[in-house]
Structure 1
């Protein structure tokens, strides 16, 4: 099957007093361009096919805002993966703008209600969205500096839900691209240290029929229909191309504030669902070309759980995805992508997972795409779909091992601290460098941080599936009471636990990702699958945030500490190697070590102690020393600070306890410190009072017996196994 020899002819492009339209449909027998008027009347124009399967026509006097679609003719032969039906008006896969949604009561199926394999001949034009001719405009202002991934603080947010209730955003802009980039919103983001915003899907998407049938709608947006078009409903002023301009203006405002923009992209499946679903675009152009099919070619081979799987084993389909990615970088100004169910994108023609897939080679070698960030959700639902830690140095990946462990640690469901050290260090058991690990405790899918400490059980009744949807493995702890509580002690503990989540996340090597509103105490009322809740359940409640300022303040402090201290965001894995000064001389300090709290470093028996609840992490370089204590225990614990050879004195710069639980003023080397229960304590060292590096004999004087002799090299979690 031929692929486009020049994909630049695809889509609709204004030129020379008219517009050129192009569509790749290599197995079609005839293609008509349907020019649609605002009253839905149409004029059809026949297109000519080239040897590469691309159909092209130039039409005079077409201007921006023109609505259009395609009618694609060919055999109706489901057994050959051909479901051509010219009665169905199809969207342009390369459309830069799309008008609206779908009338699910209209004739949108390519088959009859009686049989999925008998064609329906009713015209769908009155029930489907239209493609829009868009004039080319300048790209957004680029960001002054795209930062290394390790410097990013990623903020996952929903365009609509973040400002739908924002009191400082003008009402007519709430829930829009313009609202998200409103000055008051950007001021909040920069104040809490966010430098990278990751937008839940903004490719134009539609709802699934079964959701609409329940009176709900797809809210998250993981049901894409147009890979080049910003979602029309998020525009404050129109849907016939205005959404392109408003999106670009939003990106410019973020870039001026020093905030990178990442898109959560869904190339693994489309909003058409399985072959029994609506035919709106790709299936009508060529079922077997765009989608993975079973061996009989009649049914979709689904590894996404969404009814279909996009066939990236087809070079022409892969080229469309590459063109889409380049478009969003070069024309729409974005700085990177998070790929939903990314494993689907690297399946071969036999549906097997291939880590040497052409998709990965394309990302690595493309002069545009190799310069931006790529984050994989490293799994799908198919065979061997779980690919965490296998994506290589060109990628970062969501780290679900981090999520699961940190949740378990703070609810007391772990033994010892062995794995804690591994996760805090950037998960070197999984990845080749710290920046490959996207650390998160929650995401859009699941409980918010507040709900993690409020509910043991999901509360998804509003989704109208009898609470059967959503995960039952939440690893949450309600702090002793299910649901919202009036008990001050319960609420104080919940605040404290969320602060522990944030502090752990922001002091871990790797890349922190927080969900919008977690720093404001956002709740979804126990709903852990709010994909269909375009309602206050999902929207950020800015009034409620006034009761959670302790989280906002802590997030601000933690972000600043992370920005100011490189040892909290290393670019390579740190080991117990001696730190050298500017002249290459030893300082007597080490890059990383783990402290037991008894005056020395962790020994083998400490790592194997299943009852241990405390771990200290010491990091240093030529200019700084940082010490973070993690105590998940329910009781306070006395620890001994390192000797003066490691640091002269310590200042507490952040903590998750109550103010009266921690001491004021500098803390002397080798002094005792009481770690409050369930707390994280962050100390910054004063290196001006560090004595000269000790001789080997002197060094032995301040080591514990467990560290002397052949086991002296501070035993790491890996060597303790």
Structure 2
């Protein structure tokens, strides 16, 4: 049995620090009247082996309660109890019967068999030492970045994933060869901060089976990796395995971006559970309305963190620094990032202190910062989010690309702007194309396969009577809802998938691919499967072989982008670098319902990396892009080009392998005869067969 020794300890840093004479515990609570520190022999112990009362003056400095405890070892568990008034209208929700997690716990144990009235989650003492073996951040430039958004568990939990450690951090690393073949330079992981995934969120109305939180957008401990993503139950194994994943990915040049949640917690609204922040100081950590028991909800999850309060701001900044410096993370995607710019009353700040701190922090200076520049309170800040340091999920790119290829009238001008890096959104605020994270599909909404397979969402299995998830996904089924055995329907769907992937590859900005879109992963029409920890969300790796044509197309597509620096440049096109034209060769009329048009890109960047630049072909990489979103083939009059001639690189209307060609396979196009592009198709031509 452990024998503990207790002395005053120090108030900083907050959290737990291993000192030679013991572990220093420090926790913030301004309004608690008394705080107890509970020490357990292990996480599953029913009773604490020591209860340390921190009420004595030597254990409190200002609003911080602290103690130095000797005689402890790694793997032991601890918790806090905070006592004070129960007055929700005043933001006081103290209940000394509840064990509270340390807000800065580096690892947590989640009770595998909780009940609604007995939710035990305990903080753990864990060894942070790790041999990084000399690896460090790859430091990829934005202009060479290709992001793959995925879920740690969903990526490899299916039996056909071919990995030894299914559904874990280690399983992600085992997929390295596949990611490298695809050309991925960064993976964006859906939340890995410890979250509550044990108690049911509801039940499937058809099967009656319980539904559990799968996505992870309900954190309970922001510093701790989710323990269920480890391959063993050994305390702290999630830290070692997360770091092992990071080390292996970095060694192979792949960065890791965390989808991180600082906007709300799993504690929900007035009737939600208490895990940590609510029990320690509800009025400080959360936004409240006219009465403190009325939580302001800009997250859609019942509560909103008071992000610009100095205490909460420091908490978030310390958390980011920890993931960056200690866990070696390369960047962050901030969920519902507009919330980070709201004040204590919920108003949007013009110069939010937290956002400025993140952008200017010296430790975070090299990290990639991505904002989901909106929230459910009505804020939409795409194109104007908090300065040039931030990249943004470009929701306009997603919607305009889907609508153009669906054939919606009047979309040609918006589509052309998205290809150019969205200058209408970003140039007016001094930003660049690399501030735009371009995507056609993400975890929020339909997969790319489902965008061309369903016109309406199929969310009944979520148990919310199909009310959840977006109602309009700008999708189409092309003849029948769901799977089809009609060859012409499947061919058209595949072509539309290729069109949208190709648009992603040719557009200036940073492309993001939703994991599995390259092999037609489906969610069976569910556009909000946050609670579907099953085959609806898991990757079916058998689709890689069944859709090998699309996988091949995607690999070659992004390989071609990598070899064409003009497409990924970090500046907007100059007017002289692009010429738009209608199929007739005249200037397009953007005011009309234009479904077919083209452009020539002739930029100095076209010459970079040209294999035979020294051989006297100055325009060998000039590009011609042709788009046809109509239901009929269109004949284009091609612009005149130098003696090298136009050569076909890609035509999505052609069967493989002619849909995308290597340089040795390209045939010269007879300019005098024009070029006929099939219905709903995209073509790319280059000047010179030896071009990338």
Given the two structures, how large is their TM-score scaled by the length of structure 1? 0.86
1:635/1:138 CA distance change after superposition, 3 Å: same
**In 2, are the aligned partners of 1:643 and 1:670 still within 8 Å (CA)?**
no
CA distance in 2 between counterparts of 1:551 and 1:8 reads: 54
Whole-angstrom CA distance in 1 between matches of 2:103 and 2:672: 66
Distance in 1 of aligned mates of 2:239 and 2:500: 37
In the alignment of these two chains, the number of paired residues is 645
Structure 1: give runs of 5+ residues left out of the alignment.
1-5, 108-123, 578-590, 690-721
Deviation at 1:298, TM superposition (A): 2.1
Change in 2 beyond 3 A, CA 1:503/1:170: closer
> What's 2:676 paired with?
674
Task: State the match for 2:53 in structure 1.
Answer: 46
Cα contact 1:26–1:54 (8 A) shared by 2: yes
Change (3 A) 1:159 1:687: closer
Deviation digits for residues 2-59 of structure 1 (CA, Å, limit 9, x no counterpart): xxxx985211122114211110112212111111233322021123544431111011
Match of 2:138 in 1: 145
**Aligned-residue offset at 1:450:** 0.6
SS at match of 2:547: helix
Whether the aligned pair in 1 keeps the contact of 2:402 and 2:440 (CA below 8 Å) is yes
Whether the 8 Å contact between 1:101 and 1:206 is mirrored in structure 2 is no
User: Aligned to 2:424, what secondary structure does the other structure show?
Assistant: coil
Q: For 2:388 and 2:406, how far apart are their aligned partners in 1?
A: 33
Residue 434, structure 1, aligned to residue 430, structure 2: no
Matched position secondary structure for 2:502:
helix
Distance 1:438 1:664 in 2: 31
Shift of 1:143: 4.3
1:459 aligns to 2:458 (yes or no)? yes
- Please, which of 192, 203, 218 is the counterpart of residue 193 of structure 2? 203
**C-alpha deviation, 1:501, in angstroms:** 1.0
Q: Structure 1 residues 442, 168: closer, same or farther in 2, change over 3 A?
A: closer
- Greater displacement, 627-636 / 527-536: 627-636
In the alignment, is the contact (CA less than 8 A) between 1:208 and 1:271 conserved in 2? no
Deviation at 1:414, TM superposition (A): 2.8
Taking the TM superposition and a 5 Å limit, the aligned residue runs for 1:236-247 are 236-238=231-233, 240-247=235-242
Residue in 2 that maps onto 1:110: none
Q: 2:202 and 2:17 mapped to 1: Cα distance?
A: 34
Q: Could you say what secondary structure the match of 2:483 adopts?
A: coil
**Cα distance change on mapping 1:57 and 1:416 into 2, 3 Å:** closer
- Quote the Cα distance in structure 2 between the aligned partners of 1:26 and 1:402: 45
2:341 to 339, 346, 365: 346
Partner of 1:472 in structure 2? 471
- Give, in whole Å, the separation in 2 of the partners of 1:346 and 1:324: 18
- 2:277 corresponds in structure 1 to 282
What is the CA deviation profile of residues 170-210 of structure 1, one whole-angstrom value per residue up to 9, with x for unaligned ones? 45x1000011101xx11111111111100000000014966
CA-to-aligned-CA distance 1:434-466 (integer Å, 9 cap, x gap) = 011111111111111111111112112221223
Shift of 1:656: 1.6
Matches within 5 A, 1:221-620: 221-238=216-233, 240-382=235-377, 384-391=378-385, 392-415=387-410, 417-431=412-426, 432-577=431-576, 591-599=577-585, 602-603=587-588, 606-620=589-603
TM-score calculated relative to the size of structure 2:
0.89
Mapped partners of 2:309, 2:245: distance in 1: 34
Cross-structure match for 1:654 = 650
- SS of the counterpart of 2:284? helix
**1:498, CA displacement in angstroms?**
0.6
What residue number does 1:711 align with? none
SS in 2 for 1:310: coil
Answering whether residue 633 of structure 2 is matched by residue 631 of structure 1, we say no
* CA–CA separation in structure 2 for the residues paired with 1:360 and 1:468: 33
Name the CA distance, whole Å, in 1 between partners of 2:131 and 2:322: 10
Could you say if the C-alpha distance between residues 387 and 239 of structure 1 is closer, same or farther in structure 2, counting changes exceeding 3 Å? Answer: farther
Alignment of 1:1-20 (within 5 A): 9-20=13-24
What CA RMSD, in Å, does the superposition of the two structures yield over aligned residues?
A: 2.1
User: Which whole-Å CA distance do the structure 1 matches of 2:546 and 2:409 have between them?
Assistant: 31
CA pair 687-102 structure 1, distance change in 2 beyond 3 A = closer
Change (3 A) 1:490 1:447: same
Residue 184 of structure 2: aligned partner:
194
Give the deviation of 1:217 after TM superposition: 0.4
* 2:639 maps to 1:642: yes
Gaps of 5+ in 2: 1-9, 205-209, 608-620, 660-664
Rounded Cα–Cα distance in structure 2 between residues aligned with 1:536 and 1:688 = 44
